[in-house]
C-alpha cells in the first residue's frame, strides 16, 4: 500500500514519536507501507510521522534497491563522528532544499522488522538519511537545523509554492 505523505504545516511533523513496545502484524504492515511509499515518492528515507503514524520507525534506502531497505524501529544514534555539509531536501517540504550540517558518520541502533536488535555503522548518504529521519521522529524538520533567517526564508518560499499548487488543483 502507498500512503499519502504528510506535508508541512501539519502538527504530526512536530510531534515526538512513540516507541514501539511490541512488533505486531500491524507494525510490520506499517513498515511495508512506509517502504512502498518511500520508493513511490522516489525518496531515500521516510519516518512514520510522514505518513501520519506516531510510531518511532524509520526506513532508508540509500541506493534505492528494492528488498535492501534498512528498517529501524525505535532508532537511536549512539555515536557521531566528523562533519558533513551537503544539500538536503524533504518529502514533507517539497520544492525547497538547503545545505545542512550533519555528522559525517554515525552509529545507529534499533530493531529490525522482525524485532531483532541491530547496530548500523553509516557514512555518506546513509548517515545523512539516518540523521534526517531521526530528527523527523523527534518532531524536527531539516529546516530546524538552519539559522533562523534561512529557515524563515525557505518556509516562506515553500508556503508560497504550496499555495500555488493548491490553487492549480482547485
- We find the least distance from the C-beta atom of residue 132 to Zn ion, in angstroms, to be 6
133 part of the active site:
yes
Number of residues that bind Zn ion (CB under 5 A): 1
Q: Are 126 and 103 in contact (CB under 8 A)?
A: no
Q: Please identify the residue of the shown chain whose CB is closest to the bound Zn ion.
A: 90
Cell match 530493531: residue? 111
The gap between the terminal CA atoms of the chain, to the nearest Å, is 26
Binding mask 26-45 for Zn ion (x = CB under 5 A): --------------------
Segment contacting Zn ion by CB under 5 A, of 12-20, 53-61, 87-95, 150-158: 87-95
Nearer to Zn ion, 49 or 74 (CB): 49
For residue 108, state whether it binds Zn ion (rule: CB under 5 A). Answer: no
User: Which residue in the set 44, 90, 106, 143 belongs to the binding site for Zn ion (CB under 5 A)?
Assistant: 90
In sequence order, which residues have a C-beta less than 8 Å from that of residue 138 and are 6 or more positions away? Answer: 16, 17
Task: Please state, in angstroms and as integers, the Cα–Cα distance from residue 57 to each residue in 13, 90, 114, 147, following that order.
Answer: 14, 17, 13, 27
Q: Is 128 exposed, middle or buried (0-12, 13-18, 19+ CB in 10 A)?
A: buried
- We find the least distance from the C-beta atom of residue 92 to Zn ion, in angstroms, to be 5
Residues designated as active site: 133
Binding site for Zn ion (CB under 5 A): 90
Amino acid at each position: 500500500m502507498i500512503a499519502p505523505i504528510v506535508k508541512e504545516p501539519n502538527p504530526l511533523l512536530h510531534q515526538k514519536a512513540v516507541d514501539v513496545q511490541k512488533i505486531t502484524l500491524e507494525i510490520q504492515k506499517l513498515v511495508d507501507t512506509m517502504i512502498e511509499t518511500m520508493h513511490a515518492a522516489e525518496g531515500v528515507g521516510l519516518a512514520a510521522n510522514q505518513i501520519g503514524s506516531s510510531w518511532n520507525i524509520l526506513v532508508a534506502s540509500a541506493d534505492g534497491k528494492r528488498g535492501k531497505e534498512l528498517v529501524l524501529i525505535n532508532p537511536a544514534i549512539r555515536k557521531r563522528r566528523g562533519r558533513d555539509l551537503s544539500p538536503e531536501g524533504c518529502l514533507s517540504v517539497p520544492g525547497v532544499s538547503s545545505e545542512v550540517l550533519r555528522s559525517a558518520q554515525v552509529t545507529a541502533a534499533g530493531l529490525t522488522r522482525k524485532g531483532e536488535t541491530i547496530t548500523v555503522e553509516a557514512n555518506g548518504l546513509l548517515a545523512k538519511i539516518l540523521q534526517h529521519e531521526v530528527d523527523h521522529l523527534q518532531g524536527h524538520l531539516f529546516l530546524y537545523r538552519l539559522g533562523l533567517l534561512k529557515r524563515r526564508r525557505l518556509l516562506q518560499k515553500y508556503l508560497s509554492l504550496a499555495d500555488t499548487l493548491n490553487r492549480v488543483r482547485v
